[in-house]
């Protein structure tokens, strides 16, 4: 390490920044977070416990101690700077050495981790300054715990780099080991014959209520959500677009829009037998939230659902934004664990039971199983809920025990429940926040596909998710199939549309026509309101949003040459047929793209006959994250002048490659990491 006038100036600046960070970290443990705007709305409440004896946590206020801690922080930042400028290391080696440094620092001075992360975050422009400050204060204690337990020299450290700093290390492609199911699949397993009857089931998702939404504020700000008064962090200059009362495409759900959506449910689905809510109550301001904010917003939102849906039973799962910090959910419960989310599981289970959505026995199960439960909404149907954070790559607790196929036990429990239902000759719906085909650990994604294949089509009648804020479906295929055909289609994931208009998508709700004996889906109906183009008009004319029936899946995707017989369900083959016909039917593909955004005028353009169309059709039948990655790779290079005549190739920038802070390192060679990422020797050329 060398010294220079610049380094000394850097050290002085760092001294004052870390002094502030130290006070912030100490206050986080002892009283309230120092980040403005979080505490005034809801008082802060912490679940910190200092039980990890491996770590040297202290709240010593002696000035000598502070000088020592400042020196440690300054030193680790300088070492990180030197690491980034290494002329001999590639980006993956740099990241993995950085993980080793992070572990040593977390074990030695865990209370300093949030402050140091905050400085590095702001210095390298990973996020806005205010977002860095708030997010690192919230995530820092969790990351210190994760770093301290991580096997940084092994698979854990590699996964943490690949997913925590996309672009640093090649993405893992590990395959899980074989599954030994309790019993073999019955011969000639088939879904039961239709009964000719029908009932309705509600499905809505991604509520994302923003209690701090303020009409008249900036709707086109530089934060990841707008329509708020951020005080001193407001964008300079005059307001470019005034936030309407009813919502905006870069904002979360205002209370007026949320209530309007609940009223629309009353009008369109008044006789639903029961309802599904596939998660995400909390707003997207992860850098501002507190435990109290999350808990109170969940309680108030569930109370609104109960008030408007009245006696309808609503079954709920947690989304990635329904925890504190956002996305984080530890799968392991050990006595020495530094942080725990037990408060969250106790809280939501209590509210769900109070609203009479689940029984006391189911609530107790949810408390001890990461808010997951099993219930029987009707005779002959079991509903299995999953906490999908347990295989989400942005849940940094999943960077622990990465060499294991099922560290949380989620898939073990899922198999036992499915086997129980097979033995009882009952049908099953699986419900979670996100489908395990994107942003999912590769082993988890493949395990889920194998499990679905084993228990389809005779047991699993439907899979229901949300998360993506779009109206979508995914056809799952047999893992042993050589190609995707109607015969290889085994099940369908129904991705529910969001209430929030964030990401330039109109709000929507959905309901299904369901066979009450077989519980197969007969039709799917989507209702939407054109917030994107009509919100200002409705507000100026003192009007309520106009909710309209956008489309029926059965009518839209039915094959006119081979129409589906009455009372026959929307089978996996039906949906695969729709995907296949989109290749030659531009009108059908254009309808899908329009309905995906819920008829948003600001939806990203995706034209038939382009690479976007090919990628979209690929994603609609991608059963695993590895297959989905192949689809995304189609957009790594955009082909201009589609048609093959003089096509010019234009590289497409990868917006996830944020690890662009190396200056002098050598170029990454993916082949050097085949063994670490799970690619067998000799298969480098065959990357699925």
Q: What is the pLDDT of residue 25?
A: 40
Asked whether the predicted pLDDT for residue 19 surpasses 50, the reply is no
What integer is the mean pLDDT of 403-413? 93
The string of pLDDT tens digits covering residues 414-425 is 999 999 999 999
| Backbone phi, psi, residue 355, to 5° | -80, 0
Higher pLDDT residue, 30 or 294? Answer: 294
Q: What is the pLDDT of residue 22?
A: 39
Tokens of 485: 């055909």
Asked whether the predicted pLDDT for residue 270 surpasses 60, the reply is yes
Q: What is the pLDDT of residue 61?
A: 52
Instruction: Grade residue 256 by pLDDT with cuts at 50, 70 and 90.
Output: very high
Distance CA 188, CA 178 (A): 23
Q: How far is CA 551 from the centre of its chain?
A: 26
> What mean pLDDT is reported for the chain?
86
Residue 467 annotated as binding? yes
DSSP 391: G
- Residue 658 CB-half CA count within 13 A: 12
Instruction: Grade residue 64 by pLDDT with cuts at 50, 70 and 90.
Output: low
Distance CA 476, CA 463 (A): 10
Residue whose token pair is 């502070």: 66
Q: Rounded to a whole number, what is the distance in angstroms from the first to the last CA of the chain?
A: 43
Contact 90, 666 (CB under 8 A): yes
Q: Which stretches does DSSP call E strand in 447-579?
A: 460-465, 472-477, 489-495, 508-514, 521-529, 547-552
Report the residue count for the chain: 688
Asked whether the predicted pLDDT for residue 37 surpasses 90, the reply is no
Q: What is the pLDDT of residue 669?
A: 87
Tokens of 454: 């084993």
Asked whether the predicted pLDDT for residue 589 surpasses 70, the reply is yes
Residue whose token pair is 């002048």: 641
The string of pLDDT tens digits covering residues 430-453 is 999 999 888 899 999 999 999 999
Burial 449-473 (b: 16+ CB within 10 A, else e): bbbbbbbbbbbbbbbbbbbbbbbbb
Asked whether the predicted pLDDT for residue 574 surpasses 50, the reply is yes
What integer is the mean pLDDT of 666-677? 88
Residue 52 annotated as binding? no
What integer is the mean pLDDT of 507-513? 98
The string of pLDDT tens digits covering residues 110-142 is 988 988 888 888 777 666 778 888 888 899 999
Residue 425 annotated as binding? no
**In which element (H, E) is residue 350 found?**
helix 342-354
DSSP string, 197-261: --EEEEEEB---B-TT--TTSBSS-SSSS-SS--GGGSPSSS-SSBPPTT--TTS-B-HHHHHHH
Instruction: Grade residue 680 by pLDDT with cuts at 50, 70 and 90.
Output: confident
Distance CA 391, CA 388 (A): 6
How many Cβ atoms are within 10 Å of 9's Cβ, its own excluded? 10
DSSP 280: -
Asked whether the predicted pLDDT for residue 73 surpasses 80, the reply is yes
Supply the pTM of this predicted model.
0.88
Residue 491 annotated as binding? no
Residue whose token pair is 């299995």: 384
How many Cβ atoms are within 10 Å of 11's Cβ, its own excluded? 17
Distance CA 450, CA 108 (A): 43
Residue 206 annotated as binding? yes
pLDDT above 70 as % of the chain:
83
Question: If phi over 0 gives left and psi between -120 and 50 gives alpha, with beta otherwise, what is residue 542?
Answer: left
What integer is the mean pLDDT of 547-564? 97
Instruction: Grade residue 684 by pLDDT with cuts at 50, 70 and 90.
Output: low
Q: What is the pLDDT of residue 65?
A: 62
pLDDT above 90 as % of the chain:
70
Residue whose token pair is 């199911």: 181
Three-class secondary structure assignment of 102-141: HHHHHHHCHHHHHHHHHHHHHHCCCCCHHHHHHHHHHHHH
């Amino acid at each position: 390490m060398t010294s220079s006038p610049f380094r000394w100036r850097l050290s002085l600046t760092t001294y004052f920044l870390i002094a502030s960070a130290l006070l912030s970290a100490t206050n986080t443990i002892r009283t309230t977070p120092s980040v403005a705007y979080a505490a005034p709305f809801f008082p802060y409440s912490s679940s910190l416990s200092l039980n990890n004896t491996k770590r040297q946590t202290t709240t010593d206020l002696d000035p000598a101690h502070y000088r020592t801690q400042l020196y440690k922080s300054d030193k680790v930042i300088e070492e990180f700077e030197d690491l980034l400028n290494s002329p001999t290391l590639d980006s993956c080696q740099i990241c993995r050495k950085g993980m080793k440094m992070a572990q040593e620092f977390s074990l030695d001075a865990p209370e300093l981790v949030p402050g140091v992360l905050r400085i590095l975050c702001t210095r390298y422009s990973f996020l806005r300054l205010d977002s860095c400050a708030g997010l690192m204060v919230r995530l820092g204690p969790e990351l210190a715990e994760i770093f301290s337990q991580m096997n940084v020299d092994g698979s854990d450290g590699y996964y943490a780099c690949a997913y925590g700093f996309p672009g640093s290390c090649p993405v893992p492609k590990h395959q899980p080991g074989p599954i030994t199911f309790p019993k073999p699949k019955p011969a000639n397993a088939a879904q039961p014959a239709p009964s000719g009857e029908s009932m309705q089931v509600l499905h809505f998702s991604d509520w994302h209520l923003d209690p701090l939404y303020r009409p008249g504020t900036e709707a086109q700000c530089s934060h990841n959500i707008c329509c708020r008064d951020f005080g001193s962090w407001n964008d300079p200059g005059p307001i470019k677009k005034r936030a309407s009362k009813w919502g905006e495409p870069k904002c979360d759900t205002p209370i007026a829009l949320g209530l309007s959506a609940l009223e629309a449910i009353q009008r369109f689905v008044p006789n639903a037998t029961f309802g599904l809510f596939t998660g995400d109550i909390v707003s997207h301001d992860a850098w501002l939230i507190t435990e109290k904010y999350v808990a109170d917003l969940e309680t108030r939102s569930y109370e609104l659902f109960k008030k408007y849906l009245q006696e309808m039973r609503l079954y709920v799962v947690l989304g990635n934004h329904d925890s504190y910090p956002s996305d984080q959910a530890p799968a392991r419960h050990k006595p020495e664990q530094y942080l725990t989310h037990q408060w969250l599981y106790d809280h939501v289970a209590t509210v769900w039971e109070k609203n009479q959505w689940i029984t006391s026995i189911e609530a107790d199960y949810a408390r001890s199983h990461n808010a997951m439960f099993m219930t029987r909404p009707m005779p002959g149907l079991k509903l299995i809920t999953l906490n999908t954070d347990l295989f989400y790559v942005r849940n940094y607790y999943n960077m622990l025990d990465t060499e294991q196929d099922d560290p949380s036990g989620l898939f073990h429990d899922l198999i036992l429940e499915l086997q129980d239902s097979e033995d009882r000759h009952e049908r099953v719906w699986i419900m979670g926040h996100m489908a395990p085909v994107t942003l999912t650990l590769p082993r988890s994604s493949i395990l889920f596909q194998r499990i679905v294949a084993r228990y389809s089509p005779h047991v699993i009648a439907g899979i229901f998710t949300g998360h993506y804020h779009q109206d979508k479906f995914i056809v799952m295929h047999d893992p042993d199939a050589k190609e995707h055909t109607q015969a290889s289609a085994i099940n369908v994931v129904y991705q529910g549309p969001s209430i929030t208009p964030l990401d330039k998508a109109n709000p929507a709700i959905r309901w299904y026509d369901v066979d009450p004996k077989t519980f197969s889906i007969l039709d799917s109906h989507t209702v939407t309101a054109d917030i994107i183009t009509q919100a200002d008009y409705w507000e100026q004319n003192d009007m309520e949003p106009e909710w309209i029936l956008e489309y029926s899946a059965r009518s839209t995707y039915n094959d006119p040459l081979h129409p589906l017989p009455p009372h026959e369900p929307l089978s996996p083959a039906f949906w695969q047929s729709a995907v296949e016909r989109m290749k030659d039917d531009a009108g059908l593909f254009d309808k899908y793209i329009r309905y995906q955004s819920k008829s948003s005028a600001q939806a990203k353009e995706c034209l038939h006959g382009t690479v976007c169309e090919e990628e979209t059709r690929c994603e609609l039948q991608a059963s695993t994250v590895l297959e989905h990655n192949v689809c995304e790779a189609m957009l790594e290079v955009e082909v201009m002048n589609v048609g093959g005549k003089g096509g010019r190739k234009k590289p497409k920038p990868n917006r996830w490659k944020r690890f662009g802070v190396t200056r002098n390192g050598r170029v990454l060679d993916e082949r050097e990491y085949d063994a670490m990422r799970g690619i067998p020797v000799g298969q480098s050329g065959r990357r699925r």
